[in-house]
Structure formats: C-alpha cells, structure tokens
Structure 1
Amino acid sequence: MRAGFGQFNQATPEYLRFAQQYGVTDILLNTPQLPTAGGQWQLADLVKLRLSVEQHGMKLSALENVPSNFYDHIMLNGPKRDEQIDNMITTIRNMARAGIPIFGYHWMPSFVWRTPQVAVRGGAMSTAFDYEAVRELPLTHGRVYTRAEMWESLELWIKTIPPVAVEEGIRLGIHPCDPPVESLAGIPQLFSSYDDYRRCLDIVDSPCNAIEFCQGTFAEMADSTGDNIYGFIKEMVERDRVIYV
C-alpha cells in the first residue's frame, strides 16, 4: 500500500510542496484543469502535468474524472454519444501514453449532490445530504431516465472502453454514486448497492474494469450494516478490482 494525496485539480507548487510535507509518494488529481478543446485531453498537456508532479519527487498515479461534458451524452445516450466515445478513447490512450496508469470516473450526469452544511461534534460544520429536501427539485436533464436506459449506456461504455485500457496498460475504476440513493431529479443513481457493483464488474471481467473504493459512500449504502462492508472489501480485493481507496 502507498499513501497518496488527492482531490485537488491543480498541480501547483504550493499543493505539491504540501503533499511532500505529508510524506506521500503518489498524487491523484480530480478533474485537473487542462485544455479541453475538442472534448478531449491532449498528450502534451498530460505529459506536462505528470512532469510537474515528478519534479517534486512524487508520482502522478491517477486522474479522477474528466469534465462531465466529455461524456454526458454517453451516459444519457445523447446525439453526441459516438463522438464522445471516440474522444474518450483518445483521452484514455493519451493518459496511458503520458505515463499516468489509472483513470477514475463516475456515472453521475448531475455529479455529486449535497444540501446545506450542518453542525456536528463540537460545533464543527460538516457536509450533508438531506434526501427529503431534494425529492421535489426540477429534473436536471429534461425528463425522467430509467435504470434500464442508464445500464444500457453503461454496458456500451464497459464493452468499449476497458478493452482499450487493456491495450494501453491503464486501469479504469468507477466511483459509487454519491449520495447512494435511488434517484435524483430524474436520474437513477446506478451505484447505490454492492450488487450494482457486482453487475458492473461482471459485464467485462477485467482488472481494467474496476472500482474506486470511496469508503465514505460505500459505508452509507444499506448493504453496509453491521460488518458487511468488511466482507465486500475482502471480495473486491480478492478479485483485484480496487484501484485506490
């Protein structure tokens, strides 16, 4: 196991120095601020990003998320789906050829949801999510989508993209839906249970079709009552399907 530092989107000298001070060896960037012309990331920009991390004595081990508009039509079977698939294949090839070995993504067209912060222990303010507060919000994408539609789109992705990752030697992992509820503003949250993940991994049985183990989100799933989460961790590790925690 190696300790990494992540969840920031710019590899600035200040952030990288801060990571060095923590003593980590690996860096993960979340939706890094790179040029997005043509709906894809270019090889030269990715190489430059990797070198900026290496100059501080660490390894750029993963990129988590591209801009949602790189693949929203793939998730929702929109008119630009095939164009976005081609662009994502190019982006993933470029990541691999730039020497970045892991790409994490999600299947949330509306991204992560939160409601206003709440006070917790000692008066500290914490992020929060109140499902009742958002049940009646307007649709985010014009209509209600079904789980069957979303699974069909995901299966196309899984059957198309991980084989490219195998060719290029890069691993892909999908993040659980956050929060792991049934649906949000007309969009089903496909990954809200352990069985959802098992279904995804069984589409293409490959180390390049893996998961980001966001332990906080997994812990919120109904499956995680008691000690169940430990059994699921063991199952996923034994299948070599955890790209990072």
Structure 2
Amino acid sequence: MLETWRWFDLNDPISLRKVAQTGAKGIVSSLNEIPTGDIWPMANLLSRKLAIEGAGLTWSVVESIPVHNDIKTRTGNFLQLIENYKQSIINVGKAGIGTVCYNFMPVVDWTRTNLDYLLENTGSALRFDMVDFVAYDIFILKRPDAKVSYNADLIEEARNYFEQMSTAQIALLEKNIIAGLPGGEGSYNRESIKTAIAEFIELGEEGLRQNLIAFLAEIVPVAETSGVNLCVHPDDPPFSLFGLPRVVSTQEDVRKILSAVDSPANGLTLCAGSFGARADNNLVDMVSEFGHKIHFVHLRNVVREPNGSFYEAEHLDGDNDMVGLIDALLTEENRRKIAGDRDALIPMRPDHGHLLEDEASQPDVKPGYSYLGRLKGLAELRGVIHAISQFKK
C-alpha cells in the first residue's frame, strides 16, 4: 500500500520535513484557501505541488474538493457550480494528481462531541457521544420536531445531562458540533444551521441520493478523460444527525452509488472508522465486493457503544478487524498487479491519532491530527502490512 499523510497547507504546524521523517511517501492535501464552489486555479495547484515535491514527497490524493450545498440540493446556482467542479477536476488532472476524495454529507461534515476524551495510558481521543448530541439537538439548538428522531430513554438521558451542564460546557459542545472540524467545510451558528437542516430534511434520503447520482453523471465522464479517480467518503458518523438524510453510510448505499454511474472513475474512499462505527458494516466484505473501485483508504479504529456512541481507538485495537481488512486490501492490490492495472497500489493514510502527552500542551494541534499519534498509528499499520506481505510471498 502507498503510505500517505494528511497535510493541510503551508500553515500546518506539521512541516513537510516532519512528514517525510514518518516514512510516508504521499501527501493528501486540499486547497483550503479557495472558497467552496470556486474553480481551483492551476497556479495554486502547481504551487502546492511544487512545495510538496520540494520535500521529496508526492501529492497523491486531493482530499477534498468540497461540494457546495447548492449542488447537494440542486438549488440556486447549482448548474454553474457543477461546471466549476468539472473545471477543478480537469485542473487537478493537468497537475498530475490522480485521485480526488469528496463527500456528500449534508450540512455538517465529520462530527464529534468531545475532542479530548481521556483514555487510560493512551492519551486522549475523539469521541461521538449520542447523549451529548441529543442534548444539543433537543435542548440547546431546539430544532423543531427533534424529539421524533430519538427514543424516550435517550431523550431522558439527554435531559438529565443537559440540566447539569454549565454555560462553559454548553459553549464547548456547541463549538465542537457546529463550528467545523479540520478538513471539514465551513461552520454555522444556531439559526443558520437550523435553516440548512430544514432544507435537507424536506429533500429526504431518496432526494439526496438522486442528487448525488445526478452530480456524478455530470462529473464522472470529466474525471475519466482527465485521468482522475473520484472516491466518495462515507458519512461520519454513518447515521442520521439532526434528522438529516444520509446516503453513504452502508454497504447498500455504496452499491447504489457505484452501480448508478458505472465507471472505474466512480469509486470509494474506504474509511474504516466511518463505516466501522456501524456494527452492520463488514469491512472485509466491502473490500471483497468493491475492491476494484476502492481508490483511497483511511485506516483508523473505533470502539462502539450500544446507543450509537463511539470513540477513536488505537489503530490495532477497537471493534474493527484491522488485520483482516489490511489482508483483504493487500489481496486486492495483488489482483491489480496480476491484471496489470496502473493503479495497483492503494493510497492509505493513518487517520485520527490519539493526542499523546508530549503534544497535549501545544495549542496548534488540530483535533485528530496530532503528529505523534498518527506516527504511532502509521508504525503499527506498517508492521501489519509488512508481516502480511511477507507471509503472502
């Protein structure tokens, strides 16, 4: 597998020199300075690529070109926004970058309620707590009809939690949920997020799915001719938030998306932590079914709890069979090599490392993107990959 590293931009506190010292060869990056919906200029792409290559690395994956909400709802100036997206894909291809990861999550991107969940002897982790989230949705945001989204026991737990929250705890929870996490798209206040939520709830799951398929029908042919593989990232968490529709949460969701626009360029980002937050997603089975369309992999692990809560585990711990998943991915790579595929190596990156003690006091560490936590995860994953590869010889 091709080891890559998420690097945000020249303002990332983790320098490209430090990335190179991890042993990773590829960079996963995005032009965060370009407003969502605007065309990515060639000058910006080539400048970023030059900086990456100057450190002896390769820009392997774009993560991501954000999809404007008007495209997801097919409202406003969505036709022009799709044309802009096409041109960005063309420019990415001209810059020599062959993979674009994107997502179609409505309103909120990846979401956690606690960014500093303390664990015994392994630092702190990101956590999604269902009780915390319901407390925010019903009693802080006060979303209309929010109570119909949850069962009575969960609502009562959330009420009890909310009633003992301090003003500071409420502010922190709100910031974690709606202010936007690294790599996500934008932020909201209470009124703007309620307006956006209402629009997507009216659209519904099937409406959102059809809008994604219509979008893919437009952009996939452009990606094909540009030599770019598109790979959709799953919903994170892989279930409804705020009553919103979710269309990339299950194996069946992926099946519908990939079959609707059948092209090698219409592919999947297999995020083990996102799909793995649902017990009914079998990651090894997903590689068996969708392996030829998996263009990018996020390797991370989670510990699931019965009410839907989860936290980020160590990479080789947790509820996901990481060894089995890597074995399946290496088998897919071997199939590609035998077939003579040009994209035999699958880019992977260690995702969402724990925050360890030496970085805990540093103010500029991005949640989920500590240097030492990801370095530890990469080393563990590299060991598994090496051991399995040697065994398969």
Q: Are 2:299 and 1:242 aligned?
A: no
Match 1:222 to one of 266, 279, 284:
279
CA 142–127 in structure 1, closer or farther in 2 if over 3 Å, else same: closer
1:141 to 171, 180, 196: 196
Report what 2:80 is aligned to.
Answer: 83
TM-score of the superposition, structure 2-length normalised?
0.56
Gaps of 5+ in 1: none
Paired residue for 1:203? 260
Partner deviation per Cα, 1:60-108 (whole Å, 9 max, x = no partner): 01111234xx521111222121111011011111111111111100011
Measure the CA separation in 2 of the matches of 1:191 and 1:222: 15
Q: Normalised by the size of structure 1, how large is the TM-score?
A: 0.88
The change in CA–CA distance for 1:27 and 1:37 in structure 2 (over 3 A counts) is closer
State how far apart, in whole Å, the 2-side matches of 1:119 and 1:37 are. Answer: 34
Contact 1:172–1:209 (CA<8 Å) still a contact in 2?
A: yes
- Identity, in percent, stands at 28
CA distance 1:60–1:107, change in 2 (3 Å)? same
1:212 offset after TM fit, Å?
Answer: 0.7
In the other structure, the counterpart of 1:65 is 64
Superposed displacement of residue 121, structure 1? 3.0
Distance in 2 between the 1:46 and 1:123 partners? 38
Q: Distance in 1 between matches of 2:273 and 2:60?
A: 21
C-alpha distance in structure 1 between counterparts of 2:61 and 2:283, whole Å: 24
2:118 corresponds to: 119
User: C-alpha root-mean-square deviation of aligned residues, in Å?
Assistant: 2.0
Q: Note the alpha carbon deviations across 1:182-209, whole angstroms, 9 max, x for none.
A: x222421211111100111001111111
SS in structure 1 at match of 2:97 = coil
CA distance in 2, matches of 1:152, 1:132: 32
State how far apart, in whole Å, the 2-side matches of 1:148 and 1:50 are.
38
Q: Does 2:226 align with 1:168?
A: yes
Larger radius of gyration: 2
Correspondence for 2:25: 25
Q: Which runs of 4+ in 1 moved over 6 A?
A: none
Shift of 1:141: 0.7
Which amino acid in the other structure matches residue 97 of structure 2?
I
Separation of aligned partners in 2, 1:61 and 1:123: 30
Distance 1:39 1:156 in 2: 20
